[in-house]
Structure 1
């Protein structure tokens, strides 16, 4: 009759370590058509036993009317504090007063909400160990009858936590990178099943990651059945040195996100993370020394509530070749992000190396020219005659091909297994059509995103860059939210953007965390305004609008301060990376600046779009004065935009090319009496180019939206399925399995990624136009859904879900 399921707190299933004392609850239900749900009731208790007995000691919402299908309900009970937990259930009521109680029980637990909750100190080895990973350990006596135990831990750049010889959890490359001077993410683990009565050893391996010098902070809190508590921390010399951890280096002689990992088994410390009868060896031995309290990275410690990076799957290579004696190349026939796991035999001193790349040289070896200075190479050295299975810890690569050298004899194709590594987001969208090309395009988009979701939405996974570019996400964010559940992932990245924002001027940076590009960033970097609106519209996340509003407002005000007669002249990225014959030869980004699309047009249009979004946001959160002001400025910008860029003779904007006209249409900058001319010019331009794109990373999204807006679906479809250069079809004809950075097939040194998210932006159009799945403009969280597929005559069918 009815099934209530998928109870979540803060968009997560039974989370431990949430960062708010006002958690929000959500759920799903399925029921027969004769049941009309009208009310809900949430009950929250401190224990499941109390909840089962209907003894509600935290919050009873009472019977509440469901308004606009809102299933994101904020807790409003007794005050919660650090470490507070709750068990909850949902009761639904029909219009006929039928009562339905969820069989499923939800759980949540708060993190350490205040910095003063931390008793631990950061430890490390201040002088560094020449790029090596650091190994930390300490032993403690644990009593029997544990009620609950939690480990709060962060190791930067990235770490692996171990107890009694076992890795805790399945996370890798933890924590996600941040602007460390502002925010540092820690993880919360339930470690009860890892502990035993008596001596226990806690250990951590900490690599360089994105930080560069290993540092560790650990706070373990154990509550026993009798109410006693035990706290274990990383600390300096005090309290009889009980919390004075030991540190050493080990077999990871070098580790780098870009360059790879160098592992020498001769330096392994067998049993270092297990209880030892002679603990003095770890105090007075030659290899271990006392760790030292080191400077904090300064950022606020907050719990990482977004999805962790994990090994989400593995691939066996499709082919194995030997282009040169002793050089073996594995081909996965799929571009991806991750690393290789190898099984091999070797003699003492044997050196195995694995190099990674997306493309091959003419001689069949891997081509790494376009990786800039990234070595993308993992190395293992044998210490004895043995058979090993090994994989790195503190690096990742973007690749299709693996080149193995140093292997004794000839390896089998099973000797190497590719580990697929990414943020473990749920795939929520599916798309399939009667045209295999569209299915291939959708698959390539998904694999491109798989490769570029590692704590931040990166531009590429392979070269010495891998940054969260805001201009790419201006176009790409809607595609991302149609294909994946990003309800926790994108709010984290919004904090990265905030942390990277200039505090006095409000200027945002090109990348977040800010490690590349410029600050102020290019005016097309408006995803900090787009994403909160998308999160609100898709998930009903009202809170994100309030939390982000002042940050958004400041960034827009900065660009407003740069106006010259209501035109924004600032531009150096613009409509990035169009086909080479549409670009300025020799310009930055390997000739990536458009020669025919004025940067001032693109910048002004994006500022206008930001203002329109802010008017919608201020309308929702109730800021009338700001709303009126933004509407007034937007109106003036639209007027001056048309005065400056409208070309009466051509009947289009600026150069009358695809980018100029589609941007003006998409941003709603075209007056009513000019729309017919502009769309007709756009269609004619496409036809004149024989249904080839001339657009860059932004207007490639806008051109399809513009065509659909005026029901030019046949034109849009012919443009989409084009097979010759420049097009997605051209990429596939050349063997692409992910979306390229450039329309050209380029492999040399320069901006030539073969796994890049910005041209994946067309993915949202597949859902919105071909499948016709859209939310009603006045609805939130798809409470009202519009299904209006626009099927071109050449396409038989489309099947999609979100």
Structure 2
């Protein structure tokens, strides 16, 4: 892999950069002022701001300060690096807060002002830093309903507090309170990991919640993933039967002394109003059982039980790396419906993930029941059969005496509609609001076009991602599943990385993947609660696909290095099962949920041979391993796996291709994968692409691909000169197509192409999610090919930006923006009469190669001037119907005569 060499001939133009650059958006480990890092060599990132063109960093200086002294001053470092710059100072200390600043020199040769300070606080870096004990409720538990435990502890502080930091985790889920105030805004903590080897704890600054004098700590626990029902086999207690808390508060007083408060045998336990709580089934809250004031100091807990101390280990504890699940939009109902069955239903207008907050005024014992559903049936009645065993029911029992507000604690649902039963008095929609939850990843991408159906498709893609990115990339948020399916995740990763900042989210999940590998084999869900043997092609390949794509999307070389052993172990686990370099054994899901027409009498849609698919993905994983080895300097591995890759491709040709280039499976997916992964000799690729197009046209311009073929379909068509066919597929409105669900009113991506059939009936309810992001992978083509906003492998993470639009489909315009680690990158095109205009924004400290859809450079203007007159732009000649240029940072407006619509 060639290192990016900034054509930093562009730096010669720097004399125009008179305005001084400034430094903004400082991040540590991709986070803004994070609390609780256990990364002992954190990485720093920042952005340059300057309205001039061709601004590049030539040097930086970082200074890091602890509470008493300088921890690191880098001095002036001649480098253009401004993303993931590693700390190189003295050892960082547990619990200590550090501030850092950076200044840069740009290509004008002058230093910027020092940035505003940013900060990070270290976590507990050694197991010995934990002085707290694991504690469990001391009462005899109702082993059937398992109501949520309440745990409390009072303490006094006699001195003024300078800083107080809480470290908390649990077996199960927890909510923590200090003096009745909720600690943090994260929910469903501590999140879901492979608990036996990796249990995250959270770090909170609670300085402002404590007071001098008497204080109270209160914690509510829930079953969560740890011991609740998980998976579709009815299993519970997967990680253990216990429910437990580990909590430590480190206090520093203004006089410099320290004190530590811990979970130990002095805590008290009881049960309260949450009488039942399960992720799939919902929650029951009986307000008559509230213990009023239990979170406050002075509460009489004489009737509470002493807790039990437990001997659970702490070696599996780690600080939280990814963004936690937090509440986001609050959505009001758009309609109240009385169904044909006479049931009262509220429609929130959007299939969402979260819960409903309810206000009610009634008498003690009144019971309000909320059921959740994604769709109404053909007759307009409430439909929950596709939830399978998940009850998705919240029950609120009033205590009476005034207006009461209810919301769950340790459950969430996927729904658009709720059915209300037992509500006291008249139902007013304004007393119900849906609260949307997802991991708190920053939104990064926008995409819009002249076509409202495509804009709705993008909306559905984004909402499908939000609803399924709850600490792990789940397959669906509504039924008795909600698991981290690996095939879905790898198919959607590049789309996901455009829409939101998923670097830390997937870095954390990949560590669980490695923890759950079995002699290299990769399970189909991570964390692995199904216990299957793993290594289903296209699912297990997540071990190589996401680390490499994450490197390309974010330039995150450290994660690539950290996952390299996992990547290699996976490839070797496949290699051990091959014979004559063919992967033709084991269980495979194949092209999951591909389209098969009922009237297929000539077998055109025959199932794609699963071993053909496996061979393609095996070759792809080898290629990605070679890529990673090259980037990481593992030259011996790169060489040996290059030889193996050639043998694997040769074996593919012998087994699955005729001498004329026809594949033994004549399906769209077979040709897509063979072309995407370069399985065919170059001289046979065009005819294979033509056969793919012929197949599509034989289905009246419809796709037939499933989970594995669909993500690559339009990419392959565009690569081999058939963008017109890709646009035809994108704009197809009849089933099967991306827009068919949109025409049926979908607000998220469906699991099946025909989740609701043309006649209004449903597909098989045992597998029919209406919020399932995998087919949303078309977004990647829309962003990187249709608009053309992409990054090169020689400058990953948009250090070297590629802009190559493919105009077509009778669109009048299409545009996208992306918040990269360097700043905003943007591209868009518009057709007005015979004129095409393109707007491109390139962030500071990056370069862009731009493809202008024009026949010759003389017909192109930039900001009204001939292209040849713009000294900031380097002409790289023409290439396949484009004028190719190179630029540094800045905003550019190009205008040219339209040659032809399809590129």
Mark the runs of 5 or more structure 2 residues left unpaired by the alignment.
Answer: 1-18, 228-241, 757-761, 819-903
State the partner residue of 1:46: 66
The answer on 1:677 being equivalent to 2:687 is yes
Equivalent in 508, 512, 521 of residue 507 of structure 1? 521
Q: Does 1:210 align with 2:225?
A: yes
C-alpha displacement at 1:392, in angstroms? 0.5
Q: Is the 8 A contact 2:127 2:315 kept in 1?
A: no
Match of 2:534 among 517, 520, 526: 520
Distance (whole Å) between structure 2 residues aligned to residue 18 and residue 42 of structure 1: 19
Aligned with 1:409: secondary structure? coil
Residue number in structure 2 paired with 1:26: 45
Q: Which residue of 1 aligns with 2:545?
A: 530
Aligned twin of 1:691:
701
Secondary structure of 1:556's counterpart equals helix
1:630-709 to structure 2, matched below 5 A, reads 630-648=641-659, 651-709=661-719
Q: For residue 473 of structure 2, what is the aligned residue in structure 1?
A: 457
Secondary structure in 2 aligned to 1:210?
helix
Gaps of 5+ in 1: 51-55, 237-243, 586-593
TM superposition shift of 1:166: 1.1
Partner of 2:127: 115
Quote the offset at 1:766 in angstroms.
Answer: 0.7
568-577 or 389-398: bigger deviation: 568-577
Q: How does 1:197-596 map to 2 (within 5 A)?
A: 197-212=212-227, 213-236=242-265, 244-276=266-298, 281-282=300-301, 284-285=302-303, 288-296=304-312, 300-323=316-339, 327-362=343-378, 364-502=380-518, 505-516=519-530, 518-524=532-538, 525-569=540-584, 570-581=586-597, 595-596=606-607
Distance 1:301 1:780 in 2: 32
Of stretches 393-402 and 38-47 in structure 1, the one that deviates more from structure 2 is: 38-47
- 3-state SS, counterpart of residue 424 of structure 2: coil
* 1:176 Cα deviation from its structure 2 partner: 1.0
Partners of 1:581 and 1:96 in 2: CA distance: 64
- Determine the C-alpha separation between the residues in 2 that align with 1:93 and 1:555: 44
Q: Deviations over 1:24-43 (max 9, x none)?
A: 00001111237543111111
Q: 2:92 maps to which residue?
A: 80
The answer to whether the aligner puts 1:609 opposite 2:620 as a matched pair is: yes
Aligned partner (choices 185, 190, 213) of residue 170 of structure 1: 185
Q: CA RMSD in A?
A: 1.9
Aligned partner of 1:66 in structure 2 is 79
Q: What is the distance in 2 between the residues matched to 1:708 and 1:761?
A: 15
In the alignment, what sits opposite 2:826? Answer: none
- Quote the residue 1:626 is aligned against: 637
What residue is the counterpart of 1:589 in the other structure? none
Going from structure 1 to structure 2, the CA distance change for 1:778 and 1:174 (only over 3 Å counts) comes to same
Q: Is the 2:250–2:258 Cα contact (8 Å) retained in structure 1? A: yes
- Name the SS for the 2:745 alignment partner: coil
Matches within 5 A, 1:89-128: 89-125=101-137, 128=141
Q: Distance in 2 between matches of 1:418 and 1:295?
A: 40
Runs of at least 4 residues of structure 1 off by over 6 A? 582-585
How far apart are 1:408 and its partner, in Å? Answer: 2.0
Aligned residues of 1:578 and 1:696 also touching (Cα < 8 A) = yes
Distance 1:781 1:445 in 2: 22
Q: Distance in 1 between matches of 2:620 and 2:530?
A: 25
Q: Can you list the C-alpha shifts for 1:516-555, whole angstroms capped at 9, x where unaligned?
A: 3622231222112112212222222111122111111111
Q: TM-score, with normalisation over the residues of structure 2?
A: 0.83
Alpha-carbon distance in structure 1 between the residues aligned to 2:446 and 2:244: 41
When residues 749 and 780 of structure 1 are mapped into structure 2, their CA distance, relative to the original with a 3 A threshold, is closer
Task: Give the Cα–Cα distance (whole angstroms) in 2 for the partners of residues 332 and 366 of structure 1.
Answer: 14
Matches within 5 A, 1:145-160: 145-160=160-175
2:190 and 2:346 map into 1 onto residues whose CA distance is 30
Q: Does structure 1 retain, via aligned residues, the 8 Å contact 2:606–2:665?
A: no
The structural deviation recorded for 1:161 is 0.4
- Find the aligned partners of 1:431 and 1:699 in 2 and give their Cα distance: 24
Instruction: Call closer, same or farther: CA 1:460–1:517 in 2, change over 3 Å.
Output: farther
In the superposition, relative to structure 1, how do residues 140 and 545 fare at CA in structure 2: closer, same or farther (>3 Å)?
A: same
SS at match of 2:152: strand
Instruction: Judge which range, 698-707 or 511-520, deviates more.
Output: 511-520
Contact 2:103 2:115 in 1 (8 A): no
Alpha-carbon distance, 1:759 to partner: 0.6
- TM-score under structure 1 length normalisation: 0.93
Residue 739 of structure 1 and its aligned partner are, at CA, apart by 0.6
3-state SS of 1:730 partner? helix
Q: Does the Cα contact within 8 Å between 1:158 and 1:208 map onto a contact in 2?
A: yes
SS of residue in 1 equivalent to 2:728 = helix
Aligned partner of residue 780 in structure 2, secondary structure: helix
- Contact 1:16-1:110 at 8 Å conserved across structures: yes
Q: Residue deviations 1:400-431, cap 9 Å, x none?
A: 10111101232111121011011111110110
In 2, distance between residues paired with 1:205 and 1:137?
A: 9
Matched, 1:161 2:176: yes
Aligned to 2:851: none
1:790 Cα deviation from its structure 2 partner: 0.3
Give the secondary-structure state (helix, strand or coil) at the position aligned to 2:430. helix
Q: Note if contact 1:571-1:600 (Cα within 8 Å) is conserved in structure 2.
A: no
Whether contact under 8 Å (2:731, 2:809) holds in the other structure is no
Indicate if the aligned counterparts of 2:355 and 2:413 stay in contact, CA closer than 8 A: yes
d(CA) in 1 for partners of 2:119, 2:797 = 23
The residue matched to 2:469 in structure 1 has which SS?
A: coil
Count of residues paired in the alignment: 770
**Alpha-carbon distance, 1:88 to partner:** 0.9
Shift of 1:440: 1.1
Quote how far apart the aligned CAs of 1:305 are.
Answer: 2.3
Matched, 1:37 2:48: no
Superposed CA offset, 1:653-676 (max 9, x none): 222210000011111111111011
Q: Distance in 1 between matches of 2:54 and 2:748?
A: 46
Q: Assess if the C-alpha contact under 8 Å between 2:453 and 2:742 holds in 1.
A: no
